[in-house]
A and B are shown apart, each in its own frame.
Chain A
Amino acid sequence: MTQSRARALLLTPAALWYAALLLLPLAVVLIFSFGERSAIGGYAPGFTLEQYANLPARFAAFRNTLTLAPVGTLAALLIAYPLAYFLAIKVTPKWKTMLLVLVIVPFWTSILIRSYAWIFLLGGHGLPALLAAVGLEDIRLLDTPFAVLVGIVYGYLPLMVFPIYVALEKLDLRLLEAAADLGTPPWRSFLQITLPLSMPGVLTGSMLVFILLMGEFLIPAILGGGKVFFVGNALVDLFLQSRNWAFGSAVAVALVVIMLITVAVYTRAVKRFGAGRDDVGIL
């Protein structure tokens, strides 16, 4: 048997799997998005752009996703950066591995259970009881955008810490020493050396978290109480409750398109940043 035939043989099962359960389903969603809702629910063949024209009907879901996903990403970034900095630069090697593992451990446990835990912390006996003790009574936290935001920051924080840590770990500390010797104040060397050199990590982390947040459904379902819903929740509603497959497919296609555009913009940003990196080296 020739090498190329052996290769083809080894690849065939994976190729069939991708064709049957990735390409075919994605193609079906695309085709269905141009179809119509059948009278008994489900899908009726057709070719119409009506479903796409109806997208504004789910404006609230897109708006929530497109505001809470970037806000959540930014919040995670702001919390993660100092921690990544601490782990990469301040911690002695002896503690480093253990502290890094401790960041990732929560991420390894089911997101369902971790989100559900916040019901206790944000519900009656938790944070609201603490706030009442200092005089702020009757504050409702559960089932609000705030609860969803806390849930998503909590859920995805580890994913943000790691890429930034990796970028900062590579940072040549001699650059900071040289800057200090030349009389640069720490805040300036942070802005001009540390931050630009850690940008690849910041971009990777933000991208990972943002993409996952765009498709989020579980956290709003558990902590948003049906009031704060994402595109993901709209999809569940359209496919499992209203059984409007054609419109649901159009919503799914729109979601994927928005994600693809984001990835394209991100890739360009990374390229541009890579080109600018030499300037930092000179500095």
Chain B
Amino acid sequence: MRLYAAAVYAFLYMPIGIIALFSFSAGRSASSMEGFSLQWYGRALNNPFVMEALWTSVRVAFVSAILATLVGTAAALALTGMRGRLRATFDLLVQIAVMIPGIVIGIATLIAMVSVFDLINPWLEPVAGWTLSLGAGSLIGAHGLFTMSLVVLLVRGRMETLDGALIEASRDLGATPFGTFRQVTLPQILPAILAGFLLAFTFSFDDFVIAFFVAESETTLPIYIFSSIRRGVTPEINAIGTMIMIASLTLLILAQLLLRRSQTRKRP
């Protein structure tokens, strides 16, 4: 049994380990180890295409995560304790957004946006002097839609475990609804909101499938990596991959710690 578990862990870590190991190779070959050097990290960080893709990824992930967190948290607050048809409709929407494959969301967003832009642009151009097109905006919209649904699930889950007595007590003591929210509810759900933000950021940062369809001329880091792999693997890609893995892991571990904190706080 232990041997079996060890074998599965080896299976899980060997590919990641290989990439990390080869990224320190001094040689030109991406698939073998020739000496030790950090040169490929230096090259990756000095490659203007990589840095531009990184900047696009960070910008898109940050804006979409902020929007998804704000909108998702608001929706989760409204949905808590709500019943009836509206609630059922929203639950269904959240489910659909999480369940439909990314590839279908990607193509659907692509053709819907292009069609809408084709309708609007002939009117818009003479008036505004510019036209709508795919790019960072469509990326933010498509990523945010998925991650907003995750935020709704997280924050609503946290709201449902809150102690209602605290809110009543605050009301009895004469606090306004907004005051109660700011001083009682918000501090308790804040870890879940922050965790939602970090998850949303990481999803958007790591996403390739949706971006592949709606990014058009914008190149995010995963798109850059994908097209580089097609041209052939290089140690530079290994270095970029290793850095991305470390960054994503750091953010997600942080999110988990926040979630755990929000769960243990429940019991005083």
Which A residues form the contact surface with B (CB < 8 A)? 6-8, 10-11, 13-15, 17-18, 20-26, 28-29, 32, 42-43, 79, 82-83, 86-87, 90, 99, 102-103, 105-106, 108-114, 116-121, 123-126, 154, 157-158, 211-212, 214-215, 217-218, 222, 232, 235-236, 239-240, 245, 248-249, 252, 255-256, 259, 263
Contacts and interface: CB of A to CB of B under 8 A. Distances in A.
A235 B103 contact: yes
A17 B31 contact: no
B195 to A, nearest CB: 13
Contacts, number: 202
Contacts of B130: none
Contacts of B144: 17
Contact of A14 (B31, B75, B107): B75
Interface in B130-157: 141-142, 144-145, 148, 152
A150 to B, nearest CB: 9
Given A11-B74, A114-B15, A215 B233 contact: no
B103 A217 contact: yes
A217 to B, nearest CB: 5
Interface of B: 1-2, 4-5, 8-9, 11-16, 18-19, 22, 30-32, 70-72, 74-75, 77-79, 82, 86, 90, 93, 96-97, 99-105, 107-116, 141-142, 144-145, 148, 152, 177, 202, 206, 208-209, 212-213, 222, 225-226, 229, 233, 237, 241, 244-245, 248-249, 252
Contacts of A8: 78
Contact of B208 (A15, A24, A218, A249): A218
Contacts of B82: 7
B74 A120 contact: no
Given A7-B78, A13-B71, A109 B16 contact: yes
B74 A13 contact: yes
Contact of B213 (A82, A87, A239): A239
Contact of B14 (A43, A83, A108, A121): A121
B227 to A, nearest CB: 11
B134 to A, nearest CB: 12
Given A18-B93, A21-B145, A82 B19 contact: no
Contacts of A6: 78, 177
Contacts of B15: 114, 117-118, 120-121, 154
